[in-house]
């Protein structure tokens, strides 16, 4: 596994996302066996960064993640857990309650990284960060970050946060480079902020092409693995793919070990 470091933190280049585990926007207990099998597979494979949110299955994803970790051989302190507060919960008291709910779902004392999941029109970031800063002071959260923030909003978040903003989590893939075009990736790279790429293979819908297929063949890898390897070849970029297929979970993890050449990276960047 490759790692990405900023002054206050080192994280694996590839973590494990949990969107759709335990259900979609609401809990679906019928999905629990498949979801738990995926989490166990990821833990056994060696994933240490797990990304969840109160929105995922209305908190049930957090419950399953916490259960899988408690059932595993891994000590809590060896893992890094990210969760997120809904945009509808950004008022001071709501943030504090949302975090308490997530901690209860996870059955943990601390969340390693807590993000604002989406910005909301009319939100008062000063009020939101007053609560987030309190969570850090109280030891319930170790690090703060945001998700789906523009550069303007990211800068505003930095002004209100009493600790460094660790990451901005945004969609980023070979097919979706909107946050490169708008300058966010460059800003993160220059300011020691991790860009956490979600949907790095378009939720499994990434379309292959001749260029991607040829590079994959050269590295004895799948096109999806090459797409992941390209994403994490960028400085200050980590990613959190998700799968319930144990074979794909392993392939995603192993993509971190693929060494793309400068030519590969350039060809993929320019396709």
Are 89 and 55 in contact by the 8 Å Cβ rule? The answer is no
Instruction: Indicate if the pLDDT at residue 104 is higher than 90.
Output: yes
d(CA 201, CA 207) in angstroms, rounded, equals 9
CATH number belonging to domain 3-207+234-243: 3.20.20.100
* DSSP character at residue 74: -
Q: Which residues are catalytically annotated?
A: 56
Distances (CA, A) of 63 to 32, 113, 164, 219: 10, 17, 28, 38
Tokens of 116: 């604002």
Interval 44-60 mean pLDDT: 97
> Residue 82 forms beta bridges with which residues?
51, 113
C-alpha Rg value of the chain to the nearest Å: 18
Instruction: Indicate if the pLDDT at residue 48 is higher than 70.
Output: yes
Continuous segment of H or E residues that includes residue 269: helix 262-269
Nearest to 231 by CA among 208, 265, 205: 265
Interval 229-248 mean pLDDT: 97
Instruction: State residue 210's pLDDT score.
Output: 83
Are 107 and 64 in contact by the 8 Å Cβ rule? The answer is no
Across 8-18, b (16+ Cβ under 10 Å) vs e yields ebebbbbbbbb
More confident residue, 243 or 8: 243
Are 86 and 98 in contact by the 8 Å Cβ rule? The answer is yes
d(CA 55, CA 60) in angstroms, rounded, equals 9
**Phi/psi zone of residue 166: left (φ > 0), alpha (ψ -120 to 50 degrees), beta?**
alpha
User: How confident is residue 270, by pLDDT bands cut at 50, 70 and 90?
Assistant: confident
Query: What ranges do the domains of the chain cover?
Result: 3-207+234-243
User: How confident is residue 203, by pLDDT bands cut at 50, 70 and 90?
Assistant: low
Are 167 and 115 in contact by the 8 Å Cβ rule? The answer is yes
């Amino acid at each position: 596994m490759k790692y990405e470091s900023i002054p206050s933190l080192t994280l694996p280049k590839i973590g494990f996302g949990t969107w759709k585990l335990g259900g979609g926007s609401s809990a679906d207990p019928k999905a629990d066996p498949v979801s738990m099998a995926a989490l166990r597979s990821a833990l056994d494979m060696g994933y240490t960064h797990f990304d969840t949110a109160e929105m995922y299955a209305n908190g049930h994803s957090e419950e399953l993640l916490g259960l899988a970790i408690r059932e595993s051989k891994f000590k809590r302190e060896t893992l890094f857990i990210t969760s997120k507060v809904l945009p509808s919960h950004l008022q001071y008291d709501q943030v504090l309650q949302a975090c308490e709910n997530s901690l209860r779902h996870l059955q943990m004392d601390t969340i390693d990284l807590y993000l604002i999941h989406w910005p909301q029109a009319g939100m008062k970031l000063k009020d939101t960060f007053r609560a987030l800063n309190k969570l850090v002071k109280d030891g319930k959260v170790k690090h703060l970050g945001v998700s789906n923030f523009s550069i303007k909003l990211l800068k505003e978040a930095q002004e209100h946060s009493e600790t460094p903003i660790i990451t901005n989590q945004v969609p980023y893939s070979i097919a979706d480079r909107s946050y490169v075009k708008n300058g966010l990736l460059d800003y993160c790279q220059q300011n020691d902020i991790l860009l956490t790429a979600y949907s790095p293979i378009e939720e499994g819908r990434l379309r292959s092409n001749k260029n991607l297929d040829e590079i994959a063949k050269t590295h004895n890898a799948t096109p999806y693995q090459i797409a992941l390897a390209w994403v994490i070849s960028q400085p200050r970029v980590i990613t959190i793919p998700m799968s319930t297929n144990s074979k794909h979970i392993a392939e995603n993890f192993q993509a971190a070990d693929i060494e793309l050449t400068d030519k590969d990276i350039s060809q993929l960047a320019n396709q």
